[in-house]
Chains A and B, each alone.
Chain A
């Protein structure tokens, strides 16, 4: 299974990522997920979220999760980008692409990846309530 996991301080440009898609002719499903920063957090209006990551462990834990996905589903490739630093409302904080032969495994693997990320991958967020640059 091909894989790409990236952490970046830069905005996620979804159109560029999609344009870089590589898939073999046997694949029939591409599942995309984009997590967007909402305006409301903990019942309050926010301007942005600041993400902190223990980067080496993030990459290692994602690797372990992808190893498990490779065991469970026939996935050809997964690409994932997670922002760190300040992410403004309406910007993407997380982008995932899953490519597989059929839609069932693409949806299931993507959901499972996110669920496991939220249990194990050491990233934390802090809402910012005042104006940001």
Chain B
């Protein structure tokens, strides 16, 4: 049986926009993909993001979630460097 695919929008902030040369993209992922697996796919698609794991924060919609968070259709991943408010 063919595995269902879901669309997940990925947003990039701060200098990640320069590294990826885009502000956002849409990934088609197999249903059941978790955040960690999605991040691996993103790094494969954007090689300049390779090696950035330690300085990448990831949010799903407006929340920081666990790496094993199973992504659902319509959710958005946002990737950005450590925050610097104030």
Contact of B59 among A119, A122, A123 (CB under 8 A): A122
Minimum distance in angstroms from B15 CB to a CB of chain A: 8
Bound form: Cα–Cα A35–B57 in Å: 24
| Contact yes or no, A82 B62, CB < 8 A | no
Given A52-B14, A57-B78, are A118 and B62 neighbors across the interface (CB < 8 Å)? Answer: no
| Contact yes or no, B85 A121, CB < 8 A | yes
- Name the CB-closest residue of A to B16: A124
Q: Indicate the size class of the contact surface on chain A.
A: 20 to 34
| Contact yes or no, B14 A124, CB < 8 A | yes
Minimum distance in angstroms from A26 CB to a CB of chain B: 30
With an 8 Å Cβ cutoff, the count of chain B residues facing the other chain is 15
| Contact yes or no, B80 A118, CB < 8 A | no
| Contact yes or no, B59 A118, CB < 8 A | no
Give residues in B with beta carbon < 8 Å to A: 11, 13-14, 57, 59, 62-64, 78, 80-81, 83-86
| Contact yes or no, A60 B83, CB < 8 A | no
| Contact yes or no, B84 A123, CB < 8 A | yes
- Name the CB-closest residue of A to B59: A57
**5 contacts across the A-B interface (CB closer than 8 A):** A54-B80, A82-B86, A120-B64, A121-B85, A124-B80
Bound form: Cα–Cα A123–B59 in Å: 13
- Name the CB-closest residue of A to B63: A60
| Contact yes or no, B62 A56, CB < 8 A | yes
Residues of B within 8 A of A56 (CB): 62
Residues of A within 8 A of B80 (CB): 54, 122, 124
Residues of A within 8 A of B11 (CB): 54
A sample of 7 more A-B contacts (CB under 8 A), given A54-B78, A124-B81, A124-B83, is: A82-B86, A94-B86, A117-B85, A118-B84, A119-B83, A122-B57, A124-B13
Minimum distance in angstroms from B60 CB to a CB of chain A: 10
